[in-house]
Amino acid sequence: MAEITSGRVGIMGGTFDPIHCGHLAAAEAAREAFSLDTIIFVPAGIPSHKDETEVTPARHRYLMTLLAIMSNPYFQISRVDLDRGGVTYTVDTLRDLRRELPADAAVYFITGADAILEILSWKEPGRALSLAEFIAVTRPGYGLEQLSQALGPLYEEFQDRIHILETPPMGISSTDIRRRLAEGRSVRYLVPETVLTYIRNHGLYGAAGER
């Protein structure tokens, strides 16, 4: 990760197995809506909700993410979760990156609205919300009422640090991409061409040959 001296920083964590155009579109929408100077993509080590055997080796997920973001000058990548090892928790990601960022940087964690509805099950959710403001990317029509009901007292305390960002639905998921590749179906325009080439060259997800 290149040195960041100041500004408004977005952080987008995820398994990225593989990273796809939906991830990139959400990050760019957040960058524009919140005037972010930089967005740091952070591939997870071992996701807290998955077994290590269920995810593609970290080196592939890191390199696919790097290839996906290279053309955007506002995007960077960090190995902080991979280098820490073990299970990845958002609060640890934010805590470690906060140490690397300037003290006056405004930090925003970008996640899906569905994920933030489950924040009470996260490790130290209150601490995570104190380390960064949260941008919940969602489909049109999603309301803050659902969020306030799900988070209860946590929402009352941190509501000013939680923002809803509506984006057009894209209907892309890493799960569906892996399934399509395993079935020999096309994923063109669902993932960047650089990522698709990497997947083919390394035979990931059962992909083989030109699709």
In sequence order, the β-bridge partners of residue 188 are 191
Q: Which pLDDT belongs to residue 95?
A: 97
| Region of 86 on the Ramachandran plot (φ > 0 left; ψ -120 to 50 alpha; else beta) | left
Query: pLDDT higher for 34 or 3?
Result: 34
The pLDDT tens digits of the residues spanning 14-66 come to 999 999 999 999 999 999 999 999 999 999 999 887 766 789 999 999 999 99
Note whether 49 and 119 are within 8 A (CB).
no
Q: Which pLDDT belongs to residue 149?
A: 83
- Give the confidence band of 69 by pLDDT, cuts at 50, 70, 90: very high
Single out the residue of 132, 130, 137, 148 nearest to residue 28, CA to CA: 137
Question: Which domains, and CATH codes, for the chain?
Answer: 8-171 (3.40.50.620)
Q: Which pLDDT belongs to residue 142?
A: 63
Q: Highest mean pLDDT: which of 33-37, 82-86, 147-151, 158-162? A: 33-37
The pLDDT tens digits of the residues spanning 88-140 come to 999 999 999 999 999 999 999 999 888 888 888 999 999 999 999 999 998 76
Supply the DSSP symbol for 26: H
- Give the confidence band of 12 by pLDDT, cuts at 50, 70, 90: very high
Q: Which pLDDT belongs to residue 143?
A: 63
- Give the confidence band of 211 by pLDDT, cuts at 50, 70, 90: very low
Q: Which pLDDT belongs to residue 140?
A: 63
Q: Which pLDDT belongs to residue 141?
A: 62
Alpha-carbon separation of residue 143 from 65, 86, 97, 153, 196 (angstroms): 31, 35, 30, 18, 35
Single out the residue of 16, 111, 101, 31 nearest to residue 67, CA to CA: 16
Instruction: Give me the helices (H) in 1-109, please.
Output: 21-33, 58-69, 80-84, 90-100
- Give the confidence band of 2 by pLDDT, cuts at 50, 70, 90: confident
Query: pLDDT higher for 121 or 144?
Result: 121
19's tokens: 């990273």
